Structure 1
């Protein structure tokens, strides 16, 4: 069972699953699929939030890839509530 954090939404799990299955994720790629019934700006905000907590890594131009932490979360091996927002590439684990 996945252990989400208070800052997460249901859409975050789906975005992480998409990134894992498709090697990357971006708002334009997922907006027009049948799996996401939210706006493109909302998707972009969620992708940034996931990257801010280290579950995704931004490659540039709004394209993200899943990180090892993101994969561990999807596998139920990482408690997302133990992650904090990254600043300047610092470690995501709370001390």
Structure 2
């Protein structure tokens, strides 16, 4: 079961799924917006990729080009809780938050 956050929508899962199919996980907004499973505008795809990057599921590597992160792959496998920013796997959960807020007072409960 995937553990999503309230900001996520259907396109986020599809975008991540497509990126995970690539061996190196690199995708461009243009390729995503032309994919058969994506039935929305290029501007929507671009906004969603930026949002995924803001939350640590994607990392921007160039203008309009992103790579799926370990957290993104973990989310797809049901091993990463996007809302909490934590790994659900016992070994990784002991290390604490690893999301975009890791190391901040907010992530540390302050």
Structure 2 length normalisation: TM-score? Answer: 0.75
Which ranges in structure 2 are unaligned for 5 or more consecutive residues? 86-98
Secondary structure of 1:25 counterpart:
strand
Map 1:37-48 onto structure 2 (within 5 A). Answer: 37-48=39-50
CA contact (8 A) 1:20 1:71 kept: yes
Give the CA RMSD over aligned residues: 1.9
How many residue pairs get aligned? The number is 91
What corresponds to 1:53 in structure 2? 55
Secondary structure of 2:53 counterpart:
helix
Structure having the higher Rg: 2
- 1:92 CA displacement: 7.8
Which ranges in structure 1 are unaligned for 5 or more consecutive residues? none
Q: Greater strand share, 1 or 2?
A: 2
What corresponds to 1:62 in structure 2? 64
Between 1 and 2, higher relative CO (CA 8 Å, sep ≥ 6) is seen in 1
Structure 1 length normalisation: TM-score? Answer: 0.86
- 1:91 CA displacement: 2.6
